Chain A
Amino acid sequence: MKMYSFTVAVAALFLLNQQQDAQNIIKKVEKNRYSDNKYVVSTMIIHGRRAVRKIKAKSWIKGEEKSFTEYISPARERGTKMLKIKDNLWMYSPSSDRIIRISGNMLRQSLMGSDLTYEDMMEDPVISSHYSSVILGDTIITNRKCWKIKLKARTEDVSYKKRIILVDKERFVILQDERYAKSGTLLRKVSVKKMEFIQGKWIATHIIFKDMLKRGKGTEFIINEIKYNVKIPSYRFSKSSLKR
């Protein structure tokens, strides 16, 4: 009996230790990713069933809660703007000259026809506040040593109830992220193809998003330019800036 209690205690201690280790890793990932203000120029390459489309955008991001994106090409999407403040997302379309709040089912629509949804865009990037984590083991991906970590949703308001992430042991960048539904179905797979060291941070600059329920080769997300700690005027994150 004593032996049994001892084994259980050791196992619990081990699990607790694993969880603490995983939480520390996640915090380091978030620290690496976090910046007060960011300016990003990105290109989305959408490999659809019929054609490949390139969409270029400029984004201004303040912390984790505010972002403003303006699409600059192709011609059809030029001038489309999106503003995210906390849990709200507004979209401006030059064709209608209207600002409309994206909510409800619309959030589950594909973002510009890509493998991402508006909901993905809205999701709070702070993993530690929504998921409990545990290390599953070590692995190697694209010649990088990684921790394999399982994330389990602690709150109901997240799109993915379970995630399996691979975190680079040296650079604290998530190299692969498998996102699952409550039923256990793999919904999305995110793979990092390229990392760059910019302004003292390792950042994924070429990512592939794949909607696993959709045919096609997925969506490439390429960061063309990134600047940290840029000055962003406060009007940028107001609804009136959408129509400017």
Chain B
Amino acid sequence: MIKFILKGLLRDRSKFLFPVLTVFSGVMLTVFLYSWMNGVMTEIIRTTAHFQTGHVKITTRAYAKEEAQIPNDLALTDVDSLLTSVRLQFPDIYWVPRIRFSGLIDVPDEKGETKKQAPVFGIAVDLTGKNETENKILDIENKIVSGRMAVKPFDILVSTLLVEKLGITVGDNITLISTTMNGSLVMWNFIVAGTVNFGISGLDKSFIIADFSGMQKALDMENCAGEILGFFKNDLYQKEKSSEIALAFNSNYNDKNNEFSPVMTTLYNQNDLSSIIDMASKFTGIIAFIFIGAMSVVLWNSGLLSGLRRYGEFGVRLAMGETKKHIYGSLILESLITGIIGSVIGTIAGLAIGYYLEYKGINMASMFKNATLTVDNVIRADVTIYSYFIGFIPGICATILGSAISGINIFKRNTSQLFKELEA
């Protein structure tokens, strides 16, 4: 039976080519689109986690409320013991202290007078310690364009665009004007150890990376940190696990009246990322739904056209004694075969494009020129195990659904009228 149907399909291009091409293009687009969107979402989450939120973050309650203002006056105190405690309690996570800061970079001339100034923002991470975690998380060494890694507490890495803007070079002395933990204006000298380019438009314009211990001293934050970030060791955000960790941590510090008691927040609950994560998790379903809906309509329509074209064929088959159910069944079987063939080649093509874009990526720097979003300029697709099914199953379902709806007309044919219809 299947062999018979296959022969029929291969010999009649109109029965086969259009439905297969439709399924192929739909499946290919779905697989590619899913992998691409997955890549975009993953990239946003990954970069935001690395530079801003961590997978979980510990701050004081007051700091968490006013985080957008970088309120270092509300920073965590006694950070060393807090770090020891969380490292013991949650050993599966990398814990890193950080200080976020903003201010002005002042470049002196030969007389020490201001030559140039520019607003900056930055993060202080452990660059000079023995722990290589931050270097791994932020991939700092690989982002250095010129100069070297910071090795002393007052070495600083400056983004390439800022270096150009200020007209400074590696080895120059610059002064950071910012505010201390007590709110006093501070001027502190740093040496430009290297220039970095993270390939993130939102950062590269005016970003600096300083050493954590140096910045603690500069901002009068001895044994203090603005935030402690936690990262899963596989660098993948796990929503449920992070919620469990946050719950366990927060149950130890449940003094809600103390605005300086530590509180842990998951990535999901920071920077409005919940909507992105929710959208990402619903994305598979949305794509499958849109795909099945749209493709079914297209294939239904194609089935109707095909039904009109094959009106005579069905009539003859009915006249020859084939039952309506059997014809309907064979029609469904035909669509199953075209669905499988279309879905297989569509998935292969979609995966090929997906893997290519995962490897090469697309540079969207011009689009992100003025973006404040912390996302890599080169967006890559992310092919996951779901990419193999996201188009395949709906591809088959849509073809069957389309045929099933259009094939209903077979049951409306009246045997007694057949010869009249055929004569006409």
Interface residues of A (CB under 8 A from B): 46, 48-50, 53, 76-77, 91, 93, 95-102, 106, 109-114, 118
**Which A residues lie within 8 Å of B30 (CB)?**
none
Evaluate contact between B114 and A101: CB separation under 8 angstroms. yes
Q: Can you list 6 A-B pairs, Cβ within 8 angstroms, ordered by A? A: A48-B183, A49-B73, A100-B187, A110-B183, A111-B185, A113-B179
Main secondary structure of the interface of A (DSSP, over half): loop
Q: 9 shortest A-B CB distances, which residue pairs?
A: A113-B183, A93-B187, A96-B187, A113-B182, A112-B184, A96-B189, A110-B183, A113-B184, A96-B175
Chain B nearest CB from A153 CB (Å) reads 27
Interface size in chain B (residues, C-beta < 8 A): 25
Q: With A48-B73, A49-B62, A49-B74 known to touch, is A100 a contact of B184 (CB < 8 Å)?
A: no
Give Cα distance in the complex from A188 to B13, angstroms.
83
**Which B residues lie within 8 Å of A110 (CB)?**
179, 183-184
Stretch at the interface among B105-113, B353-361, B398-406: B105-113
**Which B residues lie within 8 Å of A106 (CB)?**
104, 177, 185
A53-B182, A106-B104 given; 5 more Cβ-contact pairs under 8 Å = A48-B183, A91-B187, A93-B186, A112-B182, A113-B184
Q: With A48-B182, A110-B183, A113-B184 known to touch, is A99 a contact of B62 (CB < 8 Å)?
A: no
Chain B nearest CB from A188 CB (Å) reads 16
Chain B nearest CB from A69 CB (Å) reads 13
**Which A residues lie within 8 Å of B186 (CB)?**
93, 95
Evaluate contact between A98 and B74: CB separation under 8 angstroms. no
Give Cα distance in the complex from A35 to B365, angstroms.
60
Q: Does B134 contact A (CB under 8 A)?
A: no
**Which A residues lie within 8 Å of B259 (CB)?**
49
Closest residue of A by beta carbon distance from B176: A96
Give Cα distance in the complex from A46 to B181, angstroms.
13
Evaluate contact between A100 and B114: CB separation under 8 angstroms. yes
Closest residue of B by beta carbon distance from A113: B183
Evaluate contact between B177 and A100: CB separation under 8 angstroms. yes
Closest residue of B by beta carbon distance from A71: B184
Give Cα distance in the complex from A99 to B184, angstroms.
16
